[in-house]
Amino acid sequence: MESDFCLYKPKTDFVINAVAYAPDDLPARQFAASVSIGDYRKTLAVTGERYWIREAVGWSVGEPSPILSLPIRYEFAFGGSEVEDDHTGYQENVIGIGYYPKSFLQKNSFKRMLRAHQIYDPAKPVRDPAEKASPEGFGFMPRYFAQRAKHTGTADTHWIENRAPLLPEDFSMAYWNGAHPSLQLPHLKPNHIYELGFTGMVHSFQAPNQHFTVELPVETVFVHAYTAANQSLCKDMVLDTVFVDVEKRRIDCNYRTSFAEELEIASCQLRFIARHERGDQIAAAQACRDSQTEFIPIPPSLTAPA
């Protein structure tokens, strides 16, 4: 799990640390693992160890060996560390397996078998070891992966001499989103409950059909702040990171917000309103506004229409 220190995440990261288990806990050559968030679903194909096989008309993937389980990690996804042009490794996933640049294949034309990847999107299988394809997985993408690194902006001589240590002018906040791009979803609706579903990530004796669901409530967490001019502000904290550790049966949720420096925040309080208290809190705040006798802070999410 990477550091959660950042300014802002444009989307909500869903990150899952898990192991894929074969159906019925019997060795299998290929099986699936999937996660659902509300109506959205992502599925991975998981295989045993397998190889690219050179044939007269190109390459094909051989039959996988049977396995009982496989950690869902980018080390088993499409990628590789073979030297290509002026850099080492496939920049989309330098820690993966299965990618071999054309220059490598030409220099090693005598090789008839090469290790292939074991995790992929069943809707978009890789057809060639030199193909440019994105790695698949459920975990945090390292910051040096091309899909994240492209958001860092231009760190050139001009930046070093005129702007550092501030971020480059073309830096994108999308860099802070560390989940796989397919698991970066629009920010969840405040005060709603979402159902998360997991399939193929527990033993068969632990859940029927190796499937289980959990409820994810978006809690009412907000900041009540005062500016130097004694102006009162309430701002919702946004749930922007959901980290599910299936092996540990644990879910960590990160809520985040920020204030512009120009507001000159003098003090702030972190506040929480439980689900069963929301109605009473809204009514009390409205009564205080009507009587103008007291102020009860509530966040914008509780004042906006549902």
In which element (H, E) is residue 101 found? none
Same domain, 76 and 196: yes
Domain assignment present for 115 = yes
* Residue 60 phi, psi dihedral angles, 5° rounding: -140, 165
Based on the fold, state whether residues 209 and 232 are members of the same structural domain: no
Say if residue 53 is in the same domain as residue 120: yes
3 in a domain, yes or no? no
Structure tokens at 295: 């102020």
pLDDT at 138: 98
Tokens standing for residue 147? 């899909």
Q: What is the DSSP string of 254-281?
A: EEE----GGG-EEEEEEEEE-GGGHHHH
For residue 235, count CB atoms less than 10 angstroms from its CB and return exposed for 0-12, middle for 13-18, buried for 19 or more.
Answer: middle
pLDDT less than 70: residues of the chain:
1, 83-87, 305-306
- Whether cis (ω within 30° of 0) applies to the bond prior to 208 is no
- The pLDDT score that the predictor gives to residue 290 is 78
- Please report whether residue 158 resides in a domain: no
Domain count, the chain: 2
Percent of the chain with pLDDT over 90: 83
| Rg of the chain taking only CA atoms, in angstroms | 24
Whether 124 and 242 map to the same domain: the answer is no
Containing structural domain, residue 246: 219-306
Q: What is the mean pLDDT of the chain?
A: 94
Query: In terms of domains, do 134 and 103 share one?
Result: yes
Residues 243 and 118 both lie in one domain: no
Boundary (domain end) residue, out of 218, 235, 267: 218
